[in-house]
């Protein structure tokens, strides 16, 4: 570690809503392993707000846990805001990156150049061009880690579902159907997420990447994504109120996509059908269609039975031979448990020198799937991931491996969702 002890020093980069509202709250529980020590944001006021909030959070934690008073005191003495990313990187071992999507890969690559590990909040990148650039960079420096921080992967229900599939409770998984998203009146969508330039797309990049990362983990990370079919991607409600202001959405707000995964050993395949939405879910017979993390239609079909994970408090296994098993799921008051799992898991990976499973390469494939879905919508047919990657490489050949290529491909892929008066 940079300061000669065993405690991981963490810096927060991009200290807005997700960082302050979710990530920041986790670190007092990890004081024996890691200290959150610094904050950098392109808007200094946000870094200062995070500094002040974490200071208060630490003091409250010490009051509730007097046995941690000395560790809290030591952490408080380390806290500071930084005027530049490089200044922060010089002082930390890990960065927790919660910038807008546009800033994530440049931050991770700069951290890599400085020998600093990265956790990247989803979605990992706007385009496969920038995701692949980062993937190649990290492949060349395997001792520096980069984890996709997609808390759905670590959510208790998805962990149970993955365990049931691996145990063969329904035989071989053939298909998985799920909704991930929010209703039209939800306040979870930000202006930056509704911007093609900042987010790389709409609900498909937001909740779609979320659902894909978790669903792939459930059916098995040994499977390889091969082909994507955009069943329907559209803008259902272009005029909205975001962050209290009238806003015209010029990215997708409802997407139905189908992804074919193949087992490289057997050639068998599994299909994931995902609805990502900012407008309320549509698929499935269940009345519950919100698509929240703990609710919304979720069904896995195998050759020996089916798993229904729609309910928040249980998973139901129905076997074709007539047997049925109900597995209770402990309900948690918030998503904090999954944020704990993802952050503590990465801290442990760094301490043990063990690469994370949900890494930058996994994240790059998730972004490729989303991009292939947009291309499929334009070409009005299923496209393979290799076809989409070749399509992306044409922009790199034309513009260079840079932001100009990223802007050009985003303009072309997202043109169908631009509002026309």
Cα–Cα distance for residue pair 126/388, rounded to 1 Å: 15
Q: Is 78 exposed, middle or buried (0-12, 13-18, 19+ CB in 10 A)?
A: middle
Given a contact cutoff of 8 angstroms between Cβ atoms, the answer to whether 274 and 257 are in contact is: yes
Instruction: Name 184's Cβ contacts closer than 8 Å, sequence gap at least 6.
Output: 237, 240, 278, 279, 280
Residue 48 contacts by C-beta under 8 Å, 6 or more apart in sequence? 39, 81
Q: Is the pLDDT of residue 415 over 80?
A: yes
| The pairing of beta strand 94-97 with beta strand 117-121 | parallel
Q: Say if CB 47 and CB 15 are below 8 A apart.
A: yes
Residue 312 backbone phi and psi in degrees, to 5: -75, -30
Q: From the CA atom positions of the chain, what is the Rg in Å?
A: 21
Contacts of 233 (CB under 8 A, 6+ apart): 204, 252, 254, 255, 256, 257, 373, 374, 377, 416, 417
Instruction: Give the mean model confidence (pLDDT) for residues 84-101.
Output: 97
- Segment 9-13 shows an average pLDDT of 98
Q: Give the phi and the psi of residue 179 in degrees, each rounded to 5.
A: -110, 135
Structure tokens at 3: 């300061």
Res. 183 pLDDT band, cuts 50 70 90 = confident
The token pair that represents 320 in the structure block: 């074709």
Q: Has residue 257 got a pLDDT over 70?
A: yes
The pLDDT confidence band at residue 185, using thresholds 50, 70 and 90, is confident
Closest CA to 11 of 31, 37, 29: 37
- Structure tokens given for 66: 């007097």
Is 421's pLDDT higher than 60? no
pLDDT of residue 99: 96
Q: What is the pLDDT of residue 334?
A: 63
Burial of 142 per CB tally in 10 Å (0-12, 13-18, 19+):
exposed
Whether 218 has a pLDDT exceeding 50, the answer reads: yes
pLDDT for 286 beyond 80: no
| Predicted confidence (pLDDT) at residue 3 exceeds the cutoff of 90 | no
Could you report the per-residue pLDDT of 305-362, keeping only the tens digit for each?
999 999 888 999 999 999 999 999 887 766 678 899 999 999 999 999 999 999 999 9
At residue 239, the pLDDT reads 92
User: Mean pLDDT over residues 105-124, rounded?
Assistant: 97
Domains and CATH numbers, the chain: 8-149+337-359 (3.40.50.720), 152-334 (3.30.360.10)
Give the span between the Cα atoms of 300 and 298, in whole angstroms: 7
Contact 117, 93 (CB under 8 A): yes
Q: Measure the CA–CA gap between 42 and 81, rounded to whole angstroms.
A: 11
Distances from the Cα of 212 to the Cα of 219, 282, 349, angstroms: 11, 18, 23
Tell me what pLDDT residue 285 has: 81
pLDDT of residue 290: 67
Mean pLDDT within 19-33? 96
Q: Tell me: the pLDDT tens digits for 128-137?
A: 999 999 999 9
**What average pLDDT does the structure give for the chain?**
94
What gap in Å lies between CA 220 and CA 259, rounded to an integer?
14
């Amino acid at each position: 570690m940079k300061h000669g002890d065993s405690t991981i020093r963490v810096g927060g980069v991009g200290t807005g809503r997700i960082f302050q509202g979710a990530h920041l709250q986790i670190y007092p529980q990890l004081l024996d392993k890691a200290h959150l020590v610094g904050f950098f944001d392109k808007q200094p006021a946000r870094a200062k707000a995070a500094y002040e909030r974490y200071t208060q959070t630490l003091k409250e934690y010490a009051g509730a846990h007097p046995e941690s008073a000395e560790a809290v005191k030591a952490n408080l003495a380390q806290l500071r805001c930084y005027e530049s990313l490089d200044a922060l990187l010089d002082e930390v071992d890990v960065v927790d990156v919660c910038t807008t999507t546009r800033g994530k890969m440049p931050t991770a690559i700069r951290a890599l150049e400085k020998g600093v590990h990265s956790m990247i909040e989803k979605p990992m990148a706007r385009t496969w061009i920038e995701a692949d650039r980062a993937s190649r960079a990290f492949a060349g420096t395997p001792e520096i880690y980069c984890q996709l921080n997609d808390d759905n992967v670590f959510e208790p229900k998805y962990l149970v579902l993955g365990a049931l599939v691996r145990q063969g409770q329904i035989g071989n998984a053939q298909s998985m159907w799920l909704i991930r998203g929010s209703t039209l009146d939800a306040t979870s969508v930000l202006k930056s997420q509704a911007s093609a330039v900042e987010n790389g797309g709409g609900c498909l990049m937001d909740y779609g990447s979320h659902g894909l990362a978790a669903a792939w983990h459930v059916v098995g990370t040994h499977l390889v994504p091969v082909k994507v079919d955009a069943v329907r991607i559209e803008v259902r409600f272009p005029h909205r109120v975001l962050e209290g202001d009238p806003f015209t959405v010029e990215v997708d707000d409802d997407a139905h996509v189908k992804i074919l995964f193949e087992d490289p050993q057997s050639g068998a395949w599994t299909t994931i059908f995902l609805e990502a939405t900012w407008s309320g879910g549509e698929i499935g017979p269940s009345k519950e269609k919100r698509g929240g993390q703990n609710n919304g239609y979720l069904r896995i079909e195998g050759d020996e039975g089916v798993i229904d994970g729609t309910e928040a408090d249980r998973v139901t296994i129905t076997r074709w031979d007539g047997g049925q098993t109900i597995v209770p799921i402990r309900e948690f008051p918030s998503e904090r448990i999954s944020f704990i799992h993802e952050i503590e898991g990465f801290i442990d990976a760094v301490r043990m020198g063990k690469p994370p499973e949900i890494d930058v390469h996994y994240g790059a494939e998730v972004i490729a799937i989303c991009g292939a879905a947009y291309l499929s919508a334009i070409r009005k047919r299923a496209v393979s991931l290799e076809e989409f990657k070749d399509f992306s490489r044409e922009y790199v050949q034309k513009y260079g491996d840079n932001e100009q290529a990223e802007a050009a491909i985003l303009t072309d892929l997202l043109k169908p969702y631009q509002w026309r008066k």
